[in-house]
Chain A
């Protein structure tokens, strides 16, 4: 990736996730919560620094990308609202978008919405199980 591509991707991840990786204080509560920790090569508490340092390429090609269960434990417990689960989900979307693999048509989504189910869970579940 060129420097510009990296910057674009970092910006895209921040935009999709709505999270500010600079808020991370590296307390590790996400990694202390993550049920997939042992399966991951890049650990949840490292997601923010990978994005800050522009190491998006490593992040999107990591095992962690597909090992995150979207259980939301890290999102729920993150004391600084960095929400690593949203960051990694945004990185997944980068990959999906590149593949042109939006399995859901945008216009289908309103039909599928259920107020009791977190929207992000719905989207990530679809993406995972239809792969």
Chain B
């Protein structure tokens, strides 16, 4: 029989306001196995923990039940506390009487009754607990960063500077991501490439960083400290070692002049050749051949690039290559894109070339962009004299109408665009239709006010209902001014849509491979929204940048640094403690049917022939073996096992049914 101590926490008024804590103590005192019961204002505080330690020693306790908040909050705390008093940490059970009781109930009597029931279930479980020992697993001191935008670049640099090797996998031919497409950055208006390019070069030259561009993650196996990742290096058709990046091939590619292939980097506003670098400062400065469009790959004729390449770097025979590498930690920095605008026909985005998205405007204003930085209408190449910005296109919508969240960056970049336009071409009339102007951030509201006060940008509170392309090439904008309660019909030359941002489409596949959870909007979920914001609930997976949620560049860089510190903290360890709550097979009952291996998401189960001896049994047969380092204790095998041979240590079938019995008493 165990000697169990029950400790009921008030959690200030969080629990005590709804649950009669004293009554719980009195009622559980006589449960089987309980030899001690007490309550305290804050059990997790130092004084509270001292109380527990003292009680363990004085009463020779062998098991603890803490009636408090969720085990996600303080299970670790109380286990450590038990360990301090010489108790096995796995002899501690938490009865969650806060999140699952006091916070969700109003009636004091009912809540108290439920708290007692929850405590009773935990006591019943502790009676069956056995001490468990944590194992150890080694840590591979190398990190992987998926995505080479500003988030990935900064994370990789910070990890590399701390002395650990890092690999970056980037899907595109160059690192740089979205930020490399931007013209200027808010709120200081420095040029995006002026601050990004040096970081891209640093990544390329850093002795601790290996770049895999034009590459994708194909498969992930393993667990925290010990991931094995397959990276597909897509065939570049150009020998990276030989290429000098002279650009001759791009200039001479016959498809470049024919203008059939829209440039992804310029959002389709410009065309590119079949052999190309996305932009002049690309890192690495090595072009790729787009095999889907290249004449040589389609017909076997052409071969101009191979003929003119001065360093003989073109290699049409190159094949995709799979690299397998081991990592201790993985950072997901897959970034964002803007939503498809097909649903918003009222804004005529697909009808008129003069209705553009903000990211297209970035390209149009960028000196390295399709127009050399000269703002012009795509229809007639005339400079617009009147521009209308529409905010919240697809953001803040009811579910089927768009994205439910605020995209966070649009208010600021629109103020930036408006100011830059007014600065370059002061006689341009700029109007912004907004629902709310949201500018929380250092120097952000001041920035927006400058657009209004200094540059006289016309901000109108209200939405645009429709954009109607006119026969004369102009655009009619029908909107409303809510503050003046007037409908507005306004002729303009150009409309810019602040399209909602969304996580990069590829993130779903990556999250699945990593078993990292994503939310309804495909943003990666944090382990704790407030206290563990850069970690995924899956151990060893970290989050950086827009992949986790909408954020601007300053925030992304901060988060990248935070993720890097978490990675370094992990890589600095030589060994990791492994969770002892893993599955265990009882060979007496196992018939080697393979059901458990089929359901195991971690590939932790193998089979071997074993001599099984017991009452009436003495034979060699195929039984399941669980690899404790791989097993994450999810319990899928225990429910799948038809013969009841699989059990989860710390959550055995018997413990769980006993808990249920205690609840249903």
Contacts and interface: CB of A to CB of B under 8 A. Distances in A.
Q: Decide if A and B are genuine partners.
A: yes
Interface of A: 23, 25-34, 37-38, 43, 45, 73-74, 76-81
Interface in B342-362: 346
A25 B401 CA distance: 14
Contacts of A33: 346, 465-466, 478
Contact of A27 (B346, B435, B485, B488): B435
24 contacts: A25-B396, A25-B435, A27-B392, A28-B463, A28-B480, A29-B465, A31-B487, A32-B464, A32-B465, A33-B346, A33-B478, A34-B465, A38-B487, A43-B485, A73-B465, A73-B466, A77-B466, A79-B392, A80-B397, A80-B398, A80-B401, A81-B398, A81-B400, A81-B401
B309 to A, nearest CB: 52
Contacts, number: 72
A26 B480 CA distance: 11
B349 to A, nearest CB: 14
A39 to B, nearest CB: 11
Contacts of B396: 25, 27, 79-80
B533 interface: no
Interface of B: 346, 392, 396-398, 400-402, 433, 435, 461-466, 478-480, 482, 485, 487-488
B484 to A, nearest CB: 11
B487 A79 contact: no
B401 A34 contact: no
B397 A45 contact: no
Given A28-B482, A45-B480, A77 B398 contact: no
A30 B397 CA distance: 14
Nearest to B482: A28
Given A28-B482, A77-B346, A80-B397, A37 B463 contact: no
Contacts of A28: 435, 461-463, 479-480, 482
A37 B392 contact: no
A37 B487 contact: yes
A74 B478 CA distance: 13
Nearest to A78: B401
Contacts of B462: 27-28, 31-32
Nearest to A83: B398
Contacts of B435: 25-28
Nearest to B464: A32
Given A25-B435, A37-B480, A79-B392, A30 B401 contact: no
Given A27-B462, A80-B398, 19 more contacts: A28-B462, A28-B463, A28-B480, A29-B463, A29-B465, A31-B482, A32-B463, A33-B346, A33-B465, A34-B465, A37-B480, A45-B480, A73-B465, A73-B466, A74-B465, A77-B346, A79-B402, A80-B401, A81-B400
A73 B485 CA distance: 19
A38 B396 CA distance: 27
